[in-house]
Amino acid sequence: MATRVLQRVGKGLKQTKNGLQTNGHVTVVVRSLSAHREDSWFKSLFVRKVDPRKDAHSHLLAKKEDNNLYKIQFHNVKPECLDAYNELCAAVLPSIHADPEYSCELVGTWNTWYGEQDQAVHLWRYRGGYPALTEVMNKLRQNKEFTDYRKERGKMLLSRRNQLLLEFSFWNEPVPRPGPNIYELRSYQLRPGTMIEWGNYWARAIAFRQENQEAVGGFFSQIGSLYTVHHLWAYKDLQSRENTRNAAWQREGWDEVVYYTVPLIQHVESRIMIPMKNSPLM
């Protein structure tokens, strides 16, 4: 009997000891969680908040005075076919641009010089938005010269892709310019939900990049790869590009724009492009 009592007392002491250890562990965890919450709350004071929007960013960022829709095409050409491809495009695309039956304009057509090799880039503008695009596509299906062009072009390509774009309201509309120039297409893949922030910052930043008339056009995607921004720049040569970009850092406020827009970017790509024959942007 006495032995059983002693065993129970000893067992109880062990349970009490374990309980203190367990309770002590819980206390540590609670304090740790409390410290973590205080730290998170303190950090949240420095996180920039974005107000919820009541409208699509296409309505907030695009130009209101016109109804332009842009299409950008990326064609990856078989290396041995690049010269023939360029000649084919020079023979057919300007005729569509010049024909008043088609409510579209060839803004520019280029070969990539630095970046993805053996690549052609075409930029089209449709005055009248999606209805104009649909009308042009329907007419081109009945155009034998264009259908023959597409058939011949298909033999020369490795791959192709396109996007439909709107232009930012604060950028210039691309217009023909004399050459010779080189062009840089900087393409940014933004984090979803950050397009409005990007537009707000660049609405101010574009003023820093106008002194040499290098800003050609700024666009954001509507169909294709989404949350994509394209900025198109023109320079006399690579050295003038270097000088112009370095000069922007001497302007007060440019560093702030870069600081706040870099976190919005998931990926960025730069193409240096040379105009193809008969391109409106030379």
pLDDT at 84: 98
Domain spans of the chain?
A: 58-275
Task: Decide which of 122 and 65 is more confident.
Answer: 122
Residue 117 is predicted with a pLDDT of: 97
Q: Angle formed by the axes of helices 254-261 and 195-205, to 10°?
A: 170
Q: Positive or negative CA dihedral for 238, 244, 249, 255?
A: negative
CATH classification code of 58-275: 3.30.70.100
Average pLDDT rounded to a whole number, residues 163-170 = 95
For 207, the 3-state DSSP assignment is helix
User: What is the pTM assigned to this prediction?
Assistant: 0.79
Q: How confident is the model at residue 207 (pLDDT cuts 50, 70, 90)?
A: confident
- Please give the pLDDT value at position 1: 44
pLDDT recorded at residue 13: 43
Closest C-alpha to 244, from 175, 176, 184: 184
Share of the chain above pLDDT 70, in %: 77
Residue scoring higher pLDDT (156 or 65):
156
Instruction: Specify whether the CB–CB gap between 206 and 218 falls below 8 A.
Output: yes
Identify the pLDDT of residue 108: 96
The structure tokens 């155009």 sit at 143
Instruction: Decide if pLDDT at 52 tops 60.
Output: no
In the prediction, which pLDDT does 64 show? 63
pLDDT at 107: 96
> Contacts by 130-139 with C-beta closer than 8 Å and gap 24+?
130/69, 132/69, 132/103, 132/104, 133/69, 133/71, 133/104, 133/164, 135/103, 136/102, 136/103, 136/104, 139/101, 139/102
For the stretch 5-17, pLDDT in tens is 445 444 444 444 4
Q: Mean pLDDT over residues 81-87, rounded?
A: 98
Q: Which of 48-57, 231-240, 266-275 has the lowest mean pLDDT?
A: 48-57
> Could you tell me the two tokens for 9?
């007392």
Length of the chain (residues): 282
pLDDT at 42 over 70: no
The phi and psi torsions of 182 (rounded to 5 degrees) equal -105, 155
% of the chain beyond a pLDDT of 90: 67
- Is 222 in contact with 164 (CB distance < 8 Å)? yes
Q: Which amino acid is at 48?
A: R
